[in-house]
């Protein structure tokens, strides 16, 4: 299997890159702005860079784990979000058709409105922010233009970007970093999700690719919980002072972009097809601790 991973400098992409290299797959990974050893430059807005990578590697399958993933940034810079997440997908889809590769696109629970989560694969999308809208539009382009595609939606990723570690790169790392430095953290008890360890999602993707799965799957952690409970679990696993955790409501956080309140993903399809045994936050966070501390 010749697998191209776009966004291999990110949290999910770097994990999948390392895991597939360990499995001795033939893998090429790309970065966009954070140059990393062993990775190739590819910006989905730049057709030449896509062309170069495809010409060099001729991938059989492409995992699209790249893009603008910061929900507030998407709201503040909607043109950037559209250029990368939508136009970039159009550029990529064209090249994929030309090379006859399979596309594995990573999407999000933020395509839903968060009124009745967690959601299953065929629930009706209704995004409430720019990030969700651009991801849904990318999904729709892929479904309209390609026959051989796999869309895997995930939720609230936690993990370490193994090639470019930054303590702020996801919610869990931010919480750990702030609490370790004695800072108070605010956790909304009305914001629900199914947090997903990057290693779990990487394992799900590997299994789905191995069985040549098609269509839409939800790949997420086994636990549906609110941010306040999630932060308490982070504190348990990392031995942090729970007095620093302040229980608030989503509206008190005054976030720039709207968040779907009761979101998260149902994973019955993965369970029914026995793709992989899913696990909860305690197990995922313990694995994260090992990733960080060794």
Sole binder of ligand NAP in the list 3, 4, 10, 275 (CB under 6 A): 10
Buried b (16+ CB within 10 A) or exposed e, 101-140: bbbbbbbbbbbbbbeebbbebeeebebbbbbbbbbbbbbe
In this structure, the number of other CB atoms found within 10 A of the CB of residue 282 comes to: 12
Query: Does residue 130 touch ligand NAP according to CB under 6 A?
Result: no
Integer Cα distance of 65 and 261 in angstroms: 24
Tokens linked to 64? 């699209």
Nearer to ligand NAP, 32 or 103 (CB): 32
Integer Cα distance of 160 and 167 in angstroms: 9
Nearest distance from residue 64's CB to ligand NAP, in Å? Answer: 7
Q: Is 36 helix (H, G, I), strand (E, B) or coil?
A: coil
Task: Write the interaction track for ligand NAP spanning residues 145-164; mark x where CB under 6 A is met and - where it is not.
Answer: ---------xxxx---x---
Nearest distance from residue 154's CB to ligand NAP, in Å? Answer: 5
- Binding-site size for ligand NAP (CB under 6 A) equals 32
Query: Does residue 106 touch ligand NAP according to CB under 6 A?
Result: yes
Tokens linked to 200? 């779990």
Nearest distance from residue 243's CB to ligand NAP, in Å? Answer: 27
Helix (H) or strand (E) holding 102: strand 102-108
CA atoms within 13 A on the CB side of 229: 14
Nearer to ligand NAP, 44 or 243 (CB): 44
Query: Does residue 31 touch ligand NAP according to CB under 6 A?
Result: yes
Query: Does residue 235 touch ligand NAP according to CB under 6 A?
Result: no
> DSSP state, 208?
H
Beta bridge partners of 62: 4, 103
Query: Does residue 129 touch ligand NAP according to CB under 6 A?
Result: no
Residues of span 58-97 touching ligand NAP by CB under 6 A: 65-69, 84, 88
Residues of span 262-291 touching ligand NAP by CB under 6 A: none
Query: Does residue 43 touch ligand NAP according to CB under 6 A?
Result: yes
Tokens linked to 86? 């939508």
Residues at the site binding ligand NAP, with contacts judged by CB under 6 A: 6-7, 9-13, 31-34, 42-45, 65-69, 84, 88, 106, 108, 135, 154-157, 161, 169-170
């Amino acid at each position: 299997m010749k697998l191209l991973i776009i966004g291999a400098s990110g949290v999910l992409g770097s994990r999948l890159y390392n895991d597939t290299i360990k499995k001795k797959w033939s893998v090429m990974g790309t970065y966009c702005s954070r140059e990393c050893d062993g990775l190739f430059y590819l910006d989905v807005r730049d057709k030449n860079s896509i062309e170069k990578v495809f010409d060099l590697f001729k991938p059989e399958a492409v995992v699209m784990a790249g893009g603008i993933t910061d929900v507030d940034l998407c709201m503040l810079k909607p043109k950037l979000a559209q250029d990368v997440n939508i136009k970039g997908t159009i550029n990529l889809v064209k090249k994929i058709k030309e090379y006859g590769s399979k596309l594995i696109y990573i999407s999000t629970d933020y395509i839903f409105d968060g009124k009745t989560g967690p959601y299953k694969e065929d629930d009706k999308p209704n995004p409430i922010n720019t990030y969700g809208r651009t991801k849904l539009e990318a999904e729709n382009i892929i479904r309209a233009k390609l026959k051989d595609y796999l869309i895997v939606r995930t939720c609230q990723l936690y993990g370490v970007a193994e090639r470019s570690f930054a303590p702020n790169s996801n919610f869990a790392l931010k919480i750990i970093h702030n609490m370790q430095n004695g800072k108070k953290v605010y956790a909304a008890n009305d914001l629900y999700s199914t947090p997903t360890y990057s290693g779990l999602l990487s394992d799900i993707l590997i299994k789905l690719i191995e069985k040549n799965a098609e269509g839409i799957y939800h790949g997420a952690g086994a636990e549906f919980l609110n941010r306040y409970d999630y932060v308490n679990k982070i504190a348990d696993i990392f031995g942090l002072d729970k007095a620093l955790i302040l229980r608030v409501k989503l509206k008190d956080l005054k976030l720039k972009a709207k968040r779907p309140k009761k979101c998260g993903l149902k994973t019955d399809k993965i369970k029914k097809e026995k793709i992989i045994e899913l696990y909860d936050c305690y197990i995922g966070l313990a694995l994260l601790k090992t990733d960080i501390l060794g």
